[in-house]
């Protein structure tokens, strides 16, 4: 029976990919030090979350059948500290939360702690739109902003946005059954803070301080600039109906967005438009007051949830500079071509390898057959007859 | 007489209890009256979180169905079953009831009776999927050993008018069954393969239905737009590709014939009695299958999902009323182009085609045949609730 479970349920775009990569790549090292991060593959806990929430995800959900129960069983069997972390868990409903907590041993001797990492809305709103675009969305930024600010919240996009970003509501759903001292709110530092500060906060709340870990991360969820996101949205409109989700993920999301366009860091970053900024400021202030009143353990400073000043220069992704969009497009095209060339070379290499293996197998077989035939009189006669029949007196090379 | 200032939270809990007992009073009526029929409010009675407005409305509508059938057949398990399942997939979380103390954040409180059908459908399909998963399916039918042996022998013997059927499963399965009733089983040496088709419009809707029964499928408009964008024929509707595959397997195009009207099978096989395909399922039934399939995808593996849909849910939907799905007139040009292309491919392949080829050359859309161009959410919801209220096994 695991004594303590740290359950990190979001929010998205708060450094979760980096944290989960460090935990996954160090899982054996962590286990030796009494900390369990149950996952057979990098996205193992993501699949578990999809299973818990009955959440379709472009076909990935078919790999998630039974994943939550398997994860919970591993947690219950482990001794010491177990960590469960995925940001889509933020969208769990009250009944899913109850099921999750019970399955992890809450109320049955296990001490469950909730961790929620949070960031100011002025950065979260544009990041969420960009995340939608990286998941095939074609919705313009302005329309996205209108939808999420509509109090009716009708439709999938606003429903999802608020489910994973409305911090007090997430804390209501996930924290209602836990004492406030076991609810840990980790704030993401402002952009000018040292890069290591967020990790230090995660490390302290996850009880990883002092453990021997490799912190070099291979994965992150990097952000894109304005023209890059605008280009990607236009690309989605062209390819959504011809590229299946299983191909979109490696080709568009990983190759074009993450590995290529995210490297272009000298273009304008996405921000809130000046007319929307006050709305985010006001909402954040309400949330800070609400969270402060609850007596949770705050790791960092709730003041960091306050939105900074509006940007001095706003660049609208719905009306980008076409020259920059074209530049992003050619950069993406180059990456796709390079990948295509790499795959062609790989195909040629594999064909060559296959032909060579086939030739070797044929040669080995004919050599064995020849040796056997040459070993007896009848065989030698048969070989001679065969050569005569072929019209020449020696085997071809 | 009702309490003049009832605690709305106590009122809500009493309303939930009323629904669990089979009540049908809408929440806004309870709120306006300040009382729940037949219940005394008790502020201490329940402190558990309230279910979402979507779940409560689904229970109320199910109760209304039980009350309307005149048998008083309220099933006390139903409410617990609905409350246990969170609405699956993306959409609103548990919605708060209008009239309760408001929070400064969270979704806006709602009148459950005014919720749009898709929100209620999420709940209903979630419950249906959970119920299907909990059911035992009969074992896959296996032929008795003696039949297997005679069948294996028969497959290699010449037989008069030996045949086999190919084409979309939703079309072929019923025909195979009907022919078996008439004493004709497929197989035999040198059998002719009959590829069962229809007019181009019906071919497309059948291909769509087959795709839904096979597993995850996008929405009908999305699927249709994808194929139209590609200006291609949906794979399951491509009779020429099916014919080619069977020609290669069974000895050339002379062994394969295409039927645009399956009724001609009676003459071709010399059977006594009419041979017809089953009518198309109502659009709402196919859409319900699709939505339940989406939830099943997270609960069971693909083969079991397909069996649960085909053997568990589809039989419950047989006889459901409602118009079938028909390709919208907006796609007439694409449909005509594909139909003519298909006919050209069949002729180029050298296949004999039985039946009215003008249904390929000039396909019908929702402008010319009865049906709907898109499933209607309200009809799908009504069918989902009827299916949930009816606990009969298929």
d(CA A95, CA B55): 12
Residues of the domain holding A393: 224-268+321-397
A128 and A184 together in one domain: yes
Average pLDDT, chain A: 92
A44 and A59 together in one domain: yes
- CATH number of the domain that A54 lies in? 3.40.50.300
* Nearest residue, CB atoms, B230 vs list A59, A154, A242: A242
Residue B35, classed as helix, strand or coil, is coil
Max Cα-Cα span within chain A: 100
Mean pLDDT value of segment B350-369: 86
A233 and A351 together in one domain: yes
CB < 8 Å to B85, chain A: 95
pLDDT exceeds 60 at position A393? no
d(CA B172, CA B167): 6
Highest mean pLDDT among A26-35, A322-331, A388-397, B62-71: A322-331
pLDDT exceeds 80 at position A42? yes
Contact B318, B386 (CB under 8 A): no
Contact A372, A364 (CB under 8 A): no
A287 and A374 together in one domain: no
For residue B357, which phi and psi values (nearest 5 degrees)? Answer: -70, -15
Q: How many CA within 13 A on the CB side of residue B120?
A: 25
CB < 8 Å to B89, chain A: 54-56
Residue B364's pLDDT band, with cuts at 50, 70 and 90, is: confident
Percent of chain B clearing pLDDT 90 (strictly above): 54
What DSSP letter does each residue of A377-393 carry, written as one string? HHHHHHHHHHHHHHTSS
Q: Which of A309, A336, A358 is the last residue of a domain?
A: A309
CB contact under 8 A, A159 and B93: yes
A59 Rama sector, left if φ>0, alpha if ψ -120 to 50, beta otherwise: left
Interface of A with B in 217-256 (CB under 8 A): 241-242
Q: Does B108 touch chain A (CB under 8 A)?
A: yes
d(CA A225, CA A316): 11
Close Cβ partners of B198 (under 8 Å, ≥ 6 residues apart): B171, B206, B260, B261, B277, B359
pLDDT exceeds 50 at position A207? yes
Q: Does A176 touch chain B (CB under 8 A)?
A: yes
Kindly state whether residue A315 falls inside one of the protein's structural domains.
no
Q: Which of A256, A285, A309 is the last residue of a domain?
A: A309
Percent of chain A clearing pLDDT 90 (strictly above): 75
A98 and A11 together in one domain: yes
pLDDT at B272: 84
Q: Does B83 touch chain A (CB under 8 A)?
A: yes
CB < 8 Å to B294, chain A: 56
pLDDT exceeds 50 at position B393? no
Q: Does A166 touch chain B (CB under 8 A)?
A: yes
d(CA B84, CA B13): 17
Q: Which residues of A145-158 are buried (b: 16+ CB within 10 A; e: fewer)?
A: bebbeeeebebebb
A132 and A159 together in one domain: yes
Mean pLDDT value of segment A8-26: 93
Q: Which two tokens stand for residue B196?
A: 């069962």
pLDDT exceeds 60 at position A394? no
**Predicted confidence (pLDDT) per residue in A247-296, tens digit:** 999 999 999 999 999 999 999 999 999 999 999 999 999 999 999 999 99
**Predicted confidence (pLDDT) per residue in A128-165, tens digit:** 999 999 999 999 999 999 999 999 898 889 999 999 99
CB contact under 8 A, A54 and B299: yes
Q: Which residues of B196-226 are buried (b: 16+ CB within 10 A; e: fewer)?
A: bbbbbbbbbbbbbbbbbbbbbbeebeebbbb
A291 and A395 together in one domain: no
A236 and A211 together in one domain: no
Q: How many CA within 13 A on the CB side of residue B248?
A: 5
Residue A112, classed as helix, strand or coil, is strand
Kindly state whether residue A299 falls inside one of the protein's structural domains.
yes
Query: How many domains in chain A?
Result: 2
d(CA B83, CA A378): 84
ipTM above 0.85, yes or no: no
A75 and A132 together in one domain: yes
Contact A34, A73 (CB under 8 A): no
d(CA B239, CA B245): 10
Kindly state whether residue A314 falls inside one of the protein's structural domains.
no
d(CA B294, CA B393): 22
Contact B60, B24 (CB under 8 A): yes
A35 and A130 together in one domain: yes
* Nearest residue, CB atoms, A166 vs list B49, B84, B106: B106
d(CA A106, CA B370): 57
**Predicted confidence (pLDDT) per residue in B252-267, tens digit:** 899 999 999 888 988 8
A154 and A205 together in one domain: yes
Q: Which residues of A369-378 are buried (b: 16+ CB within 10 A; e: fewer)?
A: eeeebeeeee
Contact A116, A171 (CB under 8 A): yes
pLDDT exceeds 70 at position A397? no
CB < 8 Å to B229, chain A: 241-242
Q: Which of A309, A333, A364 is the last residue of a domain?
A: A309
pLDDT exceeds 80 at position B394? no
A195 and A51 together in one domain: yes
Max Cα-Cα span within chain B: 88
Sign of CA dihedral B163, B164, B170, B171: negative
Helix (H) / strand (E) containing A144: helix A141-149
**Predicted confidence (pLDDT) per residue in A74-128, tens digit:** 999 998 999 999 999 999 998 899 999 999 999 888 999 999 999 999 999 999 9
* Nearest residue, CB atoms, B105 vs list A54, A176, A287: A287
pLDDT exceeds 50 at position B67? yes
d(CA B322, CA B311): 21
Residue B318's pLDDT band, with cuts at 50, 70 and 90, is: confident
Q: Which two tokens stand for residue A86?
A: 């995925």
* Closest alpha carbon to A65 in A55, A78, A75, A77: A55
């Amino acid at each position: 029976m695991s004594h303590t479970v740290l359950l990190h349920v979001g929010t998205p775009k708060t450094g979760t990919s980096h944290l989960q990569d460090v935990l996954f790549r160090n899982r054996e090292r962590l286990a030796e030090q009494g900390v369990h991060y149950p996952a057979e593959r990098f996205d193992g806990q993501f699949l578990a979350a999809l299973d818990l929430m009955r959440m379709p995800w472009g076909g990935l959900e078919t790999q998630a059948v039974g994943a939550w129960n398997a994860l919970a069983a591993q947690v219950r069997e482990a001794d010491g500290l177990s960590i469960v972390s995925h940001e889509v868990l933020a969208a769990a409903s009250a009944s899913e939360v109850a099921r999750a907590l019970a399955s992890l041993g809450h109320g049955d001797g296990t001490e469950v702690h909730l961790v929620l990492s949070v960031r100011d809305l002025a950065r979260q709103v544009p990041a969420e739109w960009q995340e939608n675009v990286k998941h095939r969305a074609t919705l313009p930024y302005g329309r996205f902003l209108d939808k999420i600010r509509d109090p009716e919240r009708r439709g999938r996009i606003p429903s999802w946005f608020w489910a994973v970003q409305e911090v007090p509501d997430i804390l209501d759903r996930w924290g209602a059954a836990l004492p406030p001292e076991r609810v840990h709110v980790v704030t993401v530092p402002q952009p000018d803070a040292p890069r290591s500060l967020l990790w230090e906060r995660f490390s302290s709340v996850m009880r990883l301080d002092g453990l021997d870990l490799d912190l070099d991360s291979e994965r992150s969820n990097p952000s894109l600039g304005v023209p890059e996101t605008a280009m990607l949205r236009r690309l989605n409109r062209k390819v959504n109906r011809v590229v299946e989700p299983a191909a979109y993920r490696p080709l568009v999301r990983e190759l074009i967005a993450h590995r290529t366009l995210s490297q272009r860091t000298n273009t304008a970053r996405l921000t809130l438009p000046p007319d929307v900024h006050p709305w985010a400021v006001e909402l954040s202030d309400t949330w800070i007051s609400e969270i402060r009143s609850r007596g949770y353990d705050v790791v960092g400073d709730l003041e960091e949830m306050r939105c900074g000043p509006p940007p001095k220069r706003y660049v609208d992704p719905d009306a980008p500079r076409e020259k920059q969009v074209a530049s992003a497009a050619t950069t993406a095209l180059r990456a796709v071509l390079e990948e295509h060339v790499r795959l062609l070379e790989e195909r040629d290499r594999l064909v060559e390898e296959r032909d060579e293996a086939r030739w070797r197998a044929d040669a080995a077989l004919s050599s064995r057959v020849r040796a056997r035939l040459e070993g007896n009189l009848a065989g030698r006669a048969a070989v001679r007859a065969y050569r005569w029949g072929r019209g020449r007196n020696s085997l071809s090379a | 007489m009702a309490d003049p200032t009832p605690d709305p939270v106590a009122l809500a809990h009493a309303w939930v209890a009323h629904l669990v007992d089979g009540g049908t009073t809408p929440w806004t009526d309870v709120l306006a009256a300040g009382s729940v029929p037949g219940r005394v409010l008790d502020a201490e009675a329940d402190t558990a979180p309230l279910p979402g407005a979507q779940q409560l409305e689904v229970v109320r509508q199910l109760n209304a169905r039980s009350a309307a059938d005149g048998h008083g057949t309220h099933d006390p398990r139903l409410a617990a079953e609905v409350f246990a399942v969170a609405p699956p997939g993306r959409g609103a979380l548990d919605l708060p009831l209008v009239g309760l103390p408001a929070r400064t954040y969270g979704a806006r409180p709602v009148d459950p009776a005014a919720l749009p059908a898709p929100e209620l459908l999420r709940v209903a399909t979630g419950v249906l999927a959970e119920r299907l998963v909990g059911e035992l399916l009969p074992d896959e039918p296996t032929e008795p050993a003696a039949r297997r042996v005679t069948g294996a022998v028969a497959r290699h013997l010449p037989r008069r008018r030996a045949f086999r059927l190919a084409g979309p499963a939703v079309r072929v399965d019923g025909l195979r069954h009907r022919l078996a009733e008439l004493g004709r089983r497929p197989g035999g040496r040198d059998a002719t393969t009959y590829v069962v088709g229809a007019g181009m419009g019906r071919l497309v809707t059948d291909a769509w239905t087959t795709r839904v029964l096979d597993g995850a499928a996008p929405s009908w408009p999305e699927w249709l737009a994808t194929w139209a964008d590609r200006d291609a024929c949906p794979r399951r509707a491509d009779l020429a590709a099916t014919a080619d595959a069977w020609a290669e397997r069974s000895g050339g195009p002379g062994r394969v014939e295409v039927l645009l009207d399956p009724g001609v099978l009676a003459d071709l096989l010399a059977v006594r009695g009419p041979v017809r395909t089953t009518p198309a399922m109502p659009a709402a039934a196919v859409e319900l299958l699709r939505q339940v399939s989406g939830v099943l995808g997270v609960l069971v593996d693909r083969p079991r999902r397909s069996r649960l849909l085909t053997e568990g849910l589809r039989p419950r939907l047989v006889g459901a009323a409602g118009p079938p799905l028909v390709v919208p007139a907006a796609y007439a040009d694409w449909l005509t182009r594909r139909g003519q292309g298909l006919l050209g491919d069949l002729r180029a392949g050298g296949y004999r085609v039985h039946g009215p080829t003008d249904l390929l050359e000039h396909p019908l859309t929702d402008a010319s045949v009865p049906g709907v161009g898109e499933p209607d959410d309200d009809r799908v919801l009504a069918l989902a609730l009827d299916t949930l209220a009816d606990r009969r096994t298929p």
